[in-house]
Amino acid sequence: MDHAARITAYFASCTSGTPDEIAAHFSADAVIYDTNHSPVVGATEIGAFWERVRSQWNGAAWGVDRVVSDGDTAAIEWHMTGESDNGSFVFRGSEHYEFAGDLISEIRQYWTFDRERSDTGLQGYPYGA
């Protein structure tokens, strides 16, 4: 599986897969680093983590907007949609990936979580236009 296909399949499993289906996209010792929470370490914990996030955000869904890949690395732009107590939301961010073979070994996630704003992303960018 090429890197873009792996990332797209990973996002689909975050949206509707089991923790084991999510974990299957990662090397056993994979790590997710994020600007909003502590690192998530290990494929099994990553799978459980995304199931908790999806449940917390009333069935959140994730999508990949762009993928740029070179060798054992890739960078993406993504979006997350869902429902909160304040209504529907769209969060947007960017991630950088490292791969071990065709499995994800590291993700560095850059995005802003703000409970007061449910539409985080680039200011003034015409998303969906």
The per-residue DSSP string of 29-60 comes to EEEEEESSS--EESHHHHHHHHHHHHHHTTS-
Helix axes 43-56, 3-16, angle to 10 degrees: 50
Domain housing 98: 3-107
- We report the CATH number of the domain holding residue 26 as 3.10.450.50
Spatial separation of the C-alpha atoms in residues 69 and 114, rounded to whole Å:
29
Residue 52 inside a domain? The answer is yes
Residue 61 inside a domain? The answer is yes
Residue pLDDT, tens place only, 48-99:
999 998 888 877 899 999 999 999 999 999 999 888 777 788 889 999 999 9
The count of structural domains within the chain is 1
Spatial separation of the C-alpha atoms in residues 57 and 55, rounded to whole Å:
5
Question: 121 versus 10: which is more confidently predicted?
Answer: 10
Residue 99 inside a domain? The answer is yes
pLDDT of the residue at 18: 96
